[in-house]
């Protein structure tokens, strides 16, 4: 069974752009191996990540990510069963969304009263999937990430 998990976390103090690039590289290698797909959005203070994969794989991966020192406070805002992936081509894509900084802060701070808020956020983030030529091994490259 396929599951998707969506969370928003706070970027830990001192985390640099290089740190995020390293996270992305590791995530892309691991996720390909685990058949996990998804998207990582970053604003000035927050990460928002959507992960899709087999339920058993997702449980372990999300638990591992939650303990990562490069971010903190990692509440799962949405976890549900899916039949099709929203990011089938991304082992992990990174998008910079400073324009969504306030919304990410509020959703992280207040949590979801209902799933609709998390779904809305995912829709906003999804609007910035990269062009076809930026998928696969190229997805982490700087010029590909400038899809916003």
Ligand X SMILES: Cc1cc2nc3c(=O)[nH]c(=O)nc-3n(C[C@H](O)[C@H](O)[C@H](O)COP(=O)(O)O)c2cc1C
Give the separation between CA 71 and CA 73, rounded to whole angstroms. 7
* 109: contact with ligand X by CB under 6 A: no
- The span of 23-31, 77-85, 123-131, 140-148 binding ligand X (CB under 6 A) equals 23-31
CA atoms within 13 A of residue 134's CA, in its CB half-sphere:
18
Are 32 and 89 in contact by the 8 Å Cβ rule? The answer is no
- The span of 64-72, 111-119, 130-138, 139-147 binding ligand X (CB under 6 A) equals 64-72
Sketch the per residue contact string, 126 through 145, with ligand X: x for CB under 6 A, - otherwise.
--------------------
The one among 3, 4, 6, 31 contacting ligand X by CB under 6 A: 31
- The span of 24-32, 107-115, 120-128, 129-137 binding ligand X (CB under 6 A) equals 24-32
* 71: contact with ligand X by CB under 6 A: yes
Beta bridge partner(s), residue 51: 5, 38
- Shortest gap between Cβ of 106 and ligand X (angstroms)? 19
* 70: contact with ligand X by CB under 6 A: yes
The one among 3, 4, 8, 27 contacting ligand X by CB under 6 A: 27
Work out the angle at residue 20's Cα, subtended by the Cα atoms of residues 15 and 23, and round it to the nearest 5 degrees: 120
Residues 6+ positions from 134 with CB-CB distance below 8 Å: 141, 143, 144, 147
36 burial type by CB count under 10 A (0-12 exposed, 13-18 middle, 19+ buried):
buried
């Amino acid at each position: 069974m396929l599951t998707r998990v969506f969370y928003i976390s706070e970027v830990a103090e001192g985390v640099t752009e290089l740190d995020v690039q390293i996270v992305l590289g590791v995530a892309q290698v691991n996720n390909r191996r685990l058949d996990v797909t998804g998207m990582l959005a970053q604003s000035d203070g927050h990460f928002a990540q959507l992960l899709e994969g087999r339920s058993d794989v997702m449980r372990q991966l999300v638990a591992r990510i939650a303990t990562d020192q490069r971010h903190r406070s990692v509440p799962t805002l949405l976890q549900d069963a899916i039949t099709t992936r929203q990011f089938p081509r991304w082992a992990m894509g990174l998008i910079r969304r400073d324009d969504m900084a306030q919304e990410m802060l509020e959703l992280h701070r207040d949590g979801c009263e209902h799933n609709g808020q998390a779904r809305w956020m995912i829709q906003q983030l999804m609007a910035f999937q990269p062009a076809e030529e930026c998928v696969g091994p190229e997805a982490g490259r700087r010029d590909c990430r400038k899809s916003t």
